[in-house]
Structure 1
């Protein structure tokens, strides 16, 4: 079986929000590797974090015209990782081993994405509404959880926990049964839709009202989900959760929402406050699960049909881990 790092290194993973990267180089972590992210004249560069000379932290360096300059001895690297200048002996040929590991990087949807492989195994998710100017966006603070990326995605997809874990936020304790629902599966992800009688936020001290909300889950393997909310009493919005694996038992989630621009005065504050409360309920639950790593089979658990979405998702991730194609519907 392939290691966790080997299995997922060929996929695109976010390592930072674009707005985080300014003039200074930015530290990042992905699948056990320490990275440094910096802007060039042609885009974004990502290399190993530590200088090939004496292991200095390049995040303490500076971006200059030639590339990324180490703050310890001034060694400077191009975006391909090759050392281009050694100030202490400028007239001597640069040693061939004076280079950094460099990685593919791109910017899209307000995120900086990295693939650790020379050729990514799959494209980025397709979320055209984030690029056509039809919606505004608001991001949550970075979410660092002590669980695997797959565990985090599973709790976002779990339709059976809403009335239990989210009591006091939007969960409806009176709705415990999950009606039958279908799951669509493709080589690139899974999709499902349910209707849930959520409790709408209390406004002006009035008791919360039941709001029949249509939830549409669309997963792009391995660790990205777009979740659309279409309430009857509240406004429609969509959340995007991309879990970036630091290791097999720890991840950082980039979580943001799109919404109609006319709601800009009211939506961001409501969303950030309510979603942080909801996700804190999820974090406490997910971090208490055992094991923290994403299971590679179902032998240690008992499932019912209501778990179909999370089971379909897990089967796909297991196939990727094993290097098998993701195809066909899963059994009940």
Structure 2
């Protein structure tokens, strides 16, 4: 979200991008997160490193209501606790073997992750719906320069063309994940036009960043 203005919620991914029984990487500020959806549809966000050998858990596979590391198959529950070590099938893993988990909420077609407890609720999108996400090699300042608009306290940026909005999630100093939002009643031609406009804005923001603008 917009730095120091939005509490601790980050719009990490679109709901449509994470099917049941799948895992994916996501970012929380400068940290990589393993985001996964169980077979029943429940979401979990955890640190992306298996405590055993450091393999990324976002590369793992989901079976039922647990996530298994792709390397040696250590299995973790939705509370982050290790449930099974295949090399020692009769062992009950000690409580010390676990990965940190984070609050996660699915709202308005967006998956939000919080970096701490008591973060409240994510901001409502008020009739907007996600169209697509774009990874931009530019910081928020360069994006604001390219759009000639400012992000508000919720990380929402409305370009001068009011056909769509952008929801910004910083991915470090020079990278931003943009979720493109449109009105829920937008027609297919309008959605196509907005997608093309967003691509143009991405190129402008990256060019501005390369030229040192907005830094």
The TM-score with structure 2 as length reference comes to 0.82
Cα distance in 2 for partners of 1:228, 1:126 equals 21
Contact 2:65–2:78 (Cα < 8 Å) also in 1: no
Q: Shift of the alpha carbon at 1:9?
A: 9.2
Separation (CA, whole Å) in 2 of partners of 1:282 and 1:69 = 38
* In the alignment, structure 1 residue 154 sits paired with structure 2 residue 144: yes
Q: CA RMSD in A?
A: 2.9
Equivalent residue, structure 2, for 1:142: 134
Question: Alpha-carbon deviations, 1:71-99, whole Å to 9, x = none?
Answer: 22221111111111122223333123211
Unaligned segments of structure 1, at least 5 residues:
131-136, 160-216, 231-236, 293-332
Distance 1:268 1:37 in 2: 27
Q: Which runs of 5+ in 2 are unaligned?
A: none
How does 1:22-101 map onto structure 2 within 5 Å?
22=19, 23-40=21-38, 41=40, 43-101=42-100
- How far residue 287 of structure 1 moved from its aligned partner, in angstroms, is 4.3
Distance in 1 (alpha carbons) for counterparts of 2:107 and 2:160: 20
Aligned-residue offset at 1:42: 5.4
Q: For 2:101 and 2:7, how far apart are their aligned partners in 1?
A: 14
**Alpha-carbon distance in 2 for matches of 1:250, 1:68:** 28
**Shift of residue 54, structure 1, vs aligned partner:** 1.2
- Over 3 Å counting, the alpha-carbon distance change for 1:279 and 1:251 in structure 2 is closer
Residues 218 and 48 of structure 1: CA distance in aligned 2, closer, same or farther (over 3 Å): closer
- CA pair 86-8 structure 1, distance change in 2 beyond 3 A: farther
Q: 1:247, CA displacement in angstroms?
A: 1.6
Task: Select the structure of larger CA radius of gyration.
Answer: 1
1:248 is aligned to 173
1:283 paired residue number? 206
How far apart are 1:269 and its partner, in Å?
A: 2.2
The alignment covers a number of residue pairs equal to: 212
- Verify the 8 A CA contact 1:9 1:117 in the aligned structure 2: no
TM-score calculated relative to the size of structure 1: 0.56
- Match for residue 122 of structure 2? 124
